[in-house]
Amino acid sequence: MWRTIGMKFDELDAKMRVFETSRDYCVLPGVYIVARLDGRGFTRLTKETHRFGAPFDTRFRDNMVKTAKHLMRCGLRVVYGYIESDEVSLLLHRDENLFGRKARKLISVLAGEASAKFSLLLGDTACFDARLSELPTESLVIDYFRWRNEDAHRNALNAHCYWTLREKGKSSKEATDSLLGLSVADKNELLFQHGLNYNDIPNWHKRGIGLYWGSYEKSSINPKTKVPVTTMRKKIMVDYDLPMRDEYSEYIQQLLTQLTGHDYAAI
């Protein structure tokens, strides 16, 4: 019955590894990988437990930016990061080969890193899930980020309308029911009637936040020759004023053209 009796460790290890890796697969070479991380239970965490401002809060935003920066430095070559609300999308370098491109490793490591970093920033337990999009062409990468950018715009409009109605005394159900069937123009008019011009809302509410690697010059003194020298360093640039629609598609295309040929190792 107990067939492991007398079995050498190498034999037992090989036997059991089959069960652990039976569902393993690797993303094909040359395919772009976008990892999307989403906060689990963040509505309760941010609105009830920690009472961040609604619909948007700069403290929460800054924690998300710090979390995204951490993910861009955790050993993977991340070309671009995009934040909307409690969601982070990460475009990996097309030639990234860490973990042999094993999907389960990428998902588990990124979800764990994001959860750990945000928990430390918040001072409470926070959890992210993760999923991968495997995109074989640049046009699909552009479509992916265009999709998330337009989703941010839609969600921001709905959120501002909802919380405007809540501030005017409507219950959660009443506010939700009031928005059913309204067009984009109707929602803009609703805000305008309550003294809020949607065009004046900060762009990071409506368009999300972009992060990418940039270069800057750093001046120093050569310790041996004592001669002033200038070196190029990398740092993460944060864009709170992203374009929309076709201009955003062009923005992503430029990043792909300019950045994917470089080696973006962790700094």
Q: Mean pLDDT in each 10-residue stretch from start to end of the chain (267 residues)?
A: 68 86 88 97 93 96 98 96 98 95 97 98 98 97 98 97 97 96 97 96 97 86 81 91 96 84 43
pLDDT of residue 4: 59
pLDDT of residue 254: 93
Q: How many other C-beta atoms can be found within 10 angstroms of the C-beta atom of residue 87?
A: 19
Q: How far apart are CA 196 and CA 159, in angstroms?
A: 13
Highest CATH level, class, for 18-152+208-259: alpha beta
pLDDT of residue 259: 61
Q: How far apart are CA 66 and CA 236, in angstroms?
A: 11
Q: What is the pTM of this model?
A: 0.89
Q: What are phi and psi of 67, to 5 degrees?
A: -65, -45
Q: How far apart are CA 106 and CA 130, in angstroms?
A: 9
Q: How far is CA 141 from the centre of its chain?
A: 14
Q: Which residue has 């700069």 as its token pair?
A: 58
Q: How far apart are CA 178 and CA 187, in angstroms?
A: 10
Contact between 234 and 214 (Cβ < 8 Å): yes
Helix, strand, coil share (%) of the chain residues, nearest 5: 50, 20, 30
Identity at 146, one-letter amino acid code? R
